[in-house]
Amino acid sequence: MIIGLFMSSSIPRIEEYMRREVYFVNSEDPLSRVVGIFRETGLPIVVVLGNSKNYLGVITDRIVLRSMLNVDTVKAKNALVKVPILNASDSVAKAARLMLENTVKGLPVSNQNKKIIGIITVDDIGRVAEKLYPRLKIKEVMTKDPITITSDSTIGKALVLMRENGISRLPVTKNDKLVGLVTIRDIIDKVLQPRSRATRGEVVGEKIRSLGYKVSDIMTKSVIQSSPEENLSTAVKKMIENNVSCLVIVSHNRVSGIITWTDILGIIASLEEKEKPPIYIQVSFKVKDISPIEKTEIIKTAEKYISKLGETLGNGYLLLHFKEHKEKHGEQHLIHCRSILRTDKVDLVGIGEAWTASQAARVALDKIERQLLIIKELAEKYPYSEEVMKRWVTEF
């Protein structure tokens, strides 16, 4: 990945890119009011205030528009998530980092008097990336050779692939050509939720699908795509204009990559350090009740891993993303960790699952280390085929 270096003073401030459009609801308001705001404005968050006008948190469009909550009876206070408030003078790099860490598409912004005066969203961060990297190519940012699924595969297989690889979307192919895109949201909205509502007698005239149906039955057929040779700015424009969270990258009529808002946020977040280490560590959690002690342990584990491998990694970043599975052992949820190591030398992914986040991180990082060792051993034996070996190890 080729990313220019910027001094901290050159990183734009949030006040330059934030939007003054911010909507508030009271904690006792029904979610139906929030739904109306989302549908009218297209904004990703609404700020929730207490009876004394104190900040409580935000409600995200994902929670409200894509859930089974009864919006007429559930109150705002029961659907909010607590996210940090940014200051207008903070850097956009900090905003990008906090969006990644809190897995949200927007954050509230306050002035020096601690009054919330606006929000900053992933779209705004995308515009920052356009400005800072006008000539950066998509191929330098995208996830290469993404996992795909054929159109005649079952929805159940798609669900397994998503879980095993810690991803939420799969390009769909037929005869090696892109024909659609299936996401975890498609499966929830078109398979799991209708079946759940059917057990309560809420479905009238709705087609009930099972995991045995084909992916082609629920996939999105019209997929927004780009070429790896296009500029990142083109990708950002397409994502904003089409209101999508990813683009499928196609080269010679074949899927060669995928780019998401997470990739773009990662680029901007990596600018935050004044003197960045060769490998910038970024951690995000979608896990309840994780302690500060365990968060610190995860960072130390990642730092130790990077230190051990040294210069062989090159320059870039390591992203660790954690989320909970419904599967439980007593009261403990199974934790899934997806680790992405993307540098100017390697582009690898490792998946780990365990009953604690720190152990899941170790498993994921161990898998990346094994891939690196295989690459090194094969490169010494077959120095002329480095790119082929990288791809082979990733698929392996």
Same domain, 170 and 256: yes
Same domain, 232 and 127: no
Query: Rounded mean pLDDT of 37-44?
Result: 87
Neighbours of 377 (CB within 10 A): 11
Same domain, 152 and 127: no
Q: Report how far apart the first and last C-alpha atoms of the chain are (Å, whole number).
A: 23
DSSP for 274-289, written as a single string: SS--SEEEEEEEE-TT
Residue 219 has pLDDT above 80, yes or no: yes
Structural domain total, the chain? 3
The one-letter amino acid at 390: K
Out of 229, 263, 297, a domain closes at 263
Q: Determine the pLDDT at residue 388.
A: 40
Residue 274 has pLDDT above 50, yes or no: no
Same domain, 143 and 250: yes
pLDDT band at 224 (very low <50, low <70, confident <90, very high): very high
Q: Determine the pLDDT at residue 391.
A: 43
Sequence-ordered list of residues with C-beta below 8 angstroms from that of 178, at least 6 positions apart, any chain? 171, 172, 223, 225, 248, 250, 253, 254, 255
pLDDT band at 307 (very low <50, low <70, confident <90, very high): confident
User: pLDDT tens digits for 355-367?
Assistant: 889 999 999 999 8
pLDDT band at 134 (very low <50, low <70, confident <90, very high): confident
Query: Rounded mean pLDDT of 13-20?
Result: 94
Same domain, 14 and 117: yes
Tokens of 51: 């009876």
Its pTM stands at 0.67
Same domain, 288 and 248: no
In a domain, 198, yes or no: yes
In a domain, 271, yes or no: no
Query: Rounded mean pLDDT of 175-182?
Result: 93
Q: Alpha carbon of 80 to those of 50, 54, 70, 72, 209: distances in Å?
A: 12, 14, 14, 16, 31
Identify the H or E element spanning 242: none
User: pLDDT tens digits for 56-73?
Assistant: 999 988 776 555 567 788
8 Å CB contact between 79 and 31: yes
Q: Determine the pLDDT at residue 326.
A: 75
More confident site: 46 or 201:
46
Q: Alpha carbon of 324 to those of 288, 336, 353: distances in Å?
A: 8, 6, 10
User: pLDDT tens digits for 3-12?
Assistant: 444 444 478 9
DSSP for 134-198, written as a single string: TT-BGGGTSEES---EETTSBHHHHHHHHHHHT-SEEEEEETTEEEEEEEHHHHIIIIIHHHHHH
Query: Rounded mean pLDDT of 260-266?
Result: 89
Give the separation between CA 142 and CA 151, rounded to whole angstroms: 23
Out of 241, 263, 285, a domain closes at 263
Q: Determine the pLDDT at residue 249.
A: 95
Q: Determine the pLDDT at residue 3.
A: 43
User: pLDDT tens digits for 74-85?
Assistant: 899 988 988 999
Give the separation between CA 239 and CA 255, rounded to whole angstroms: 18
Of 166-175, 268-277, 309-318, 320-329, the range with the highest mean pLDDT is 166-175
CATH number for position 115: 3.10.580.10
Q: pLDDT exceeding 70 applies to what percent of the chain?
A: 85
CATH number for position 377: 3.30.160.100
